[in-house]
Chain A
Amino acid sequence: MPEGTDALAARAADGDPAARAELVERLTPLVARLARRWEGRAAREDLQQAGMVGVLSALDGFDPGRGTAFASYAAPFAVGEMMAVLRGSAPVHVSRTGRDLAAAVETAADALTAAHGRAPSPAEIAAAAGLEEEEVVTGLAARRALAPPVPDTALEDAAGTDDAVEALEARLAVGHLLGELDARSQAILVMRFGLELSQAEIGERLGISQMHVSRLLRAALADLDARLG
């Protein structure tokens, strides 16, 4: 009778290279199945490789005594690594000009939102920033390809309650996926779609800019979308 996966994981965690190799072989079908969720959005080999990195990183914290099967425990680690690949696989290179325009657009948009209490149009941003409207569009497009924002403690403090998250999960019909997101993403989605606040209103409530809210919202939705498979 073959050794159980949990026992194998325990030996691998203790540094047994043979157990580690056996574990990789045994969990390859699981990782391949998870990778198929995102077929077409990144190279399958990259996803599977990242997923296996996640599985192996799960060894450190695995405690067989808690009663959770290793495969179940490791799956979220695999998914997390795969999503890192998806986030990093954007085929668009952002030029220096694009970055400069993105910064100029953000500065002008934030000033206009603060002045008028609503998000401005690209034409209004162009007038305020002294840019052509095409340059504003270039800046807006560049923003989408830039790296997601750094962790935002203020927003994590404003995270939605479990009830609010569950209510939004039901409304969006996304199962329990919101509960898998980080607190920051949960909070931004609850405020935008649960409380139905505008980006400008969320920004005002949290003391951050509308453009920052926009970035956080995009990152949260990208994370949720990736988990939808």
Chain B
Amino acid sequence: MSTAPEDVRLQASDPAVAKAVAAPVLLALGARAGFDVARLDEFAIALDIAIASAVPGPVRADMRLTGGRLSVTVSPVAPDRLHGRRVLLEELAAGVAENGDAIALTLDA
């Protein structure tokens, strides 16, 4: 299992591009942490849903792997879009936290 923090910062021109690019990176980081494929798959779906909450236009996804914790922060998200998805995200990710116009998802080993 990796112990040194690994960071990936991704800026995409719109949510559709972010969705296509971010998930494979997330899967790669999650594989390094040793998560099983079912949890990884559901976490990647959570990322898709978080990106679907993003404001149309440029989207940023910051991913970090620290020890056994994988996290991703998506911004900017639209509060009204996020509202209906919040509980669903909590089912798919171990942690969900809103901070201003960003939503952070975490998955712990």
Contacts and interface: CB of A to CB of B under 8 A. Distances in A.
A225 B64 CA distance: 25
Contacts of A24: none
A218 B88 CA distance: 13
Given A39-B56, A89-B16, A141-B24, A225 B49 contact: yes
A121 B70 CA distance: 15
B108 interface: no
A174 B84 CA distance: 6
A91 B24 CA distance: 14
B17 A225 contact: no
B56 A137 contact: no
Interface string B5-40: 000000000111100100110011011001111111
B27 A137 contact: yes
A159 to B, nearest CB: 20
Interface in B79-106: 81, 84-88, 91-92
A40 B15 contact: yes
A118 interface: yes
Given A42-B16, A123-B34, A218 B87 contact: no
A120 B38 CA distance: 8
Interface residues of B, number: 36
A119 B27 contact: no
Main secondary structure of the interface of A (DSSP, over half): helix
Contacts of B15: 40-41
A228 B41 contact: no
A199 B39 CA distance: 9
A198 interface: yes
Interface string B45-59: 100110010101100
A118 B52 CA distance: 30
Nearest to B51: A41
A214 to B, nearest CB: 5
B45 A119 contact: no
B16 A136 contact: no
B36 A225 contact: no
A76 interface: no
A132 B62 CA distance: 26
B91 A109 contact: no
B34 A210 contact: no
Contact of A199 (B38, B86, B92): B38
A120 B37 contact: yes
B87 A137 contact: no
CB-CB nearest 4 A-B residue pairs: A40-B56, A119-B38, A122-B31, A141-B24
Interface of A: 39-42, 89-92, 109, 118-123, 125, 133-134, 136-138, 140-141, 144-145, 171-175, 193, 198-200, 210-211, 214, 217-218, 221-222, 224-225, 228-229
Given A136-B31, A225-B85, A225-B88, 10 more contacts: A39-B56, A40-B56, A91-B16, A109-B37, A118-B36, A121-B31, A122-B27, A140-B40, A141-B27, A221-B92
23 contacts: A41-B52, A42-B16, A89-B16, A109-B37, A118-B36, A120-B36, A121-B31, A121-B35, A121-B36, A133-B31, A137-B24, A137-B27, A171-B87, A172-B87, A172-B91, A173-B86, A175-B84, A214-B38, A217-B45, A218-B41, A222-B45, A225-B49, A228-B84
